[in-house]
Amino acid sequence: MESIDLLVLRTAHAWRQAGHPVLLATVARTWGSSPRPVGSMMALRNDGRVVGSVSGGCIEDDLVQRYTTAYGGPGLPQRAPEVIRYGVSADEAHRFGLPCGGTLELILEFNPAVEPLHQLLTQLDAGQLVHRQLALASGAVSLAITATPGQFAFDDQYMVNTLGPGYRMLLIGAGALAEYLATMALFNGFKVAVCDPRPEHMASWSVAGVEHLRGMPDDVVRACNADLRTCIIAVSHDPKLDDLALLEALHGPAFYIGAIGSRRNSQLRRERLIEHFGETEQSLQRLHGPIGIYIGSKTPAEIAVSVMAEVLAAKNAVALPGAVSVSKAKRERDHPVL
């Protein structure tokens, strides 16, 4: 499953190639609570068809009525980009389904040129990370390949959005937990790969759309060229597979590195990595284990939910409170303060 951003851009490009007028809307700023983060995009065709989202639905409906022919409106003219704001007053926030105090600002691009969209998609499909800059005064778009993910930026003159490559998840081990994790990662827009040199485990893999990587896990981790949009999770329960893969991962920039295991097994793993491989408590700070947030999960599906929640928190730079840590929650459960 593609990321929603890539789907929006690909659809906008296809519509423009077919000669349809298109509006590309991007969330530029938010104040208070808002349904979608800055950088979120939607494409709107002249006849009212929509892909992507900038809100919970009400703003999309307003854009359809205001700018398309779906309800007898004027359609999408060729003009310079505009900035439009929703939710300034309490009445307007209520009308557009925004939370109390929520306000968002959109940048509207009318009929974006086909060639820059084609060039952008070509670069994204090649795995490049791209800064897309829009000049508000003229609508001119410039593209720059970069090695560093950047925050969305808008200064009233230029909008800069860093796009692609999509987030990736590499799973070490092909059991039931890995299948549930892969399924959830796919519908969250991750590209997923699995590595397990044990043929009897790979033979039963049933999740479509996942790349199967051959070789020993540490070699696979080394070859995958992990970046800041990669997470690596060891779920094989076999230290011979997990430990060396984790070592390779810890020496790279992946945003999340974790391994399944009980509190005792996680501690033993840390001791092995320190004693036999020269790691330190400081170098192991990035290693999550036990992985997941504490929700009392028992089944592979429930454990996958807890792990995916922790991965998404790390992706979104959300610091989780200690109370949701599996280790801390279980310590407090086992040794309650009376």
Write the pLDDT tens digit of every residue in 147-189.
777 789 999 999 999 998 778 999 999 999 999 999 999 988 8
Residue ranges for the chain with pLDDT beneath 50 = none
C-alpha span between 269 and 257 (Å, rounded): 14
Rounded to 5 degrees, φ, ψ at 205 are: -65, 135
pLDDT score recorded for residue 167: 87
- β-bridge pairing 153-154 and 158-163: antiparallel
Which structural domains are found in the chain, ordered by start? 4-163 (no CATH), 168-334 (3.40.50.720)
pLDDT score recorded for residue 71: 83
pLDDT score recorded for residue 317: 84
pLDDT score recorded for residue 148: 77
pLDDT score recorded for residue 147: 79
pLDDT score recorded for residue 165: 74
pLDDT score recorded for residue 100: 54
pLDDT score recorded for residue 321: 78
Residues 143, 63 contacting (CB under 8 angstroms): no
Residue 289, burial from CB neighbour count under 10 angstroms (0-12, 13-18, 19+)? buried
pLDDT score recorded for residue 131: 94
Residues 101, 33 contacting (CB under 8 angstroms): yes
Residues 35, 9 contacting (CB under 8 angstroms): no
Torsion sign, CA atoms 51, 55, 61, 62: negative
